[in-house]
Amino acid sequence: GVVAIFANTGIALANEGGALKEVEFDKSQEARQRGAETVVGVCMMCHSLKYLKFSDLTSIGMSKEKIKSLLTSQKLDDHMISLTPLEVRKESYGKEPPDLSLMTLARKGGPNYIYTLLTSYYTDAQGNTENHLFPGIKMPDMLGYSFAAEGSPDRAQIEAQVKDAVSFLMWAADPNEDARKELGVYVIVYLVILTILLYLVKRRTWASVH
């Protein structure tokens, strides 16, 4: 799975291991599509995105054929639920791994928190995998960040993969953001044109009065 950031109370943990990394995320459809592949292929081994259906991925430009290629026994109209039995996930992590649908909104700095968490794995002196941000984390280093040497092409590739995954999760948390922004532009243009027209009407009206 990808993001085990809930404490036993179900509330996102505070930053335990230092400052979050400030990252610029690519919000292009291409980045979201790459991120979707990582989330479906890796994260959904343990996590779900219960508020989305696989068919919703067409909204980020993925073809139905491409989506189907990522699936096993699921159907396009199925909700994005992990196929790993809940009992197995609870036994592995001590609790049900959190749903990822709204994960980037779950805490302040959510996208940067997720990126920092996934790029904070390291191997300690005893050879155990640990996490600087979340010491004692039970979630394994699924992308192998701790095994890639600092500054290596492998590490850079993993960091890019994490950025794309976070970009997708940002979209998943608010799939209508792009439509709202586009509508907002049209509304502003409409209001500007309306203001100009009203101003011209006012001038003509007062001109005729004088």
The first and second tokens of residue 61, run together, are 């430009």
168: CB partners within 8 A, 6+ apart:
31, 32, 33, 34, 35, 36, 38, 39, 60
Q: Which of 52, 34, 5, 50 is nearest to 165 (CA)?
A: 34
CA distance 100 to 81: 10
Residue-wise pLDDT for 28-83, tens only, equals 999 999 999 999 999 999 999 999 999 999 999 999 999 999 999 999 999 999 99
pLDDT in tens, 186-207: 567 667 777 787 777 777 777 7
pLDDT reported for residue 7: 35
Q: Does the pLDDT at position 97 exceed 60?
A: yes
- Asked if residues 29 and 59 have their Cβ atoms less than 8 Å apart, the reply is no
| pLDDT recorded at residue 204 | 78
8 has pLDDT over 50: no
The answer on pLDDT for 180 being more than 60 is no
pLDDT value, residue 202: 74
% of the chain beyond a pLDDT of 90? 69
Q: How far apart are CA 139 and CA 47, in angstroms?
A: 11
- Of 52, 54, 50, 51, nearest to 77 by C-alpha is 54
- When pLDDT is averaged across residues 133-157 and rounded to a whole number, the result is 95
Answer yes or no: is pLDDT of 88 > 60: yes
How high is the mean pLDDT of the chain? Answer: 86
What pLDDT score was predicted for residue 31? 98
Q: Tell me which residue has tokens 């600092």.
A: 150
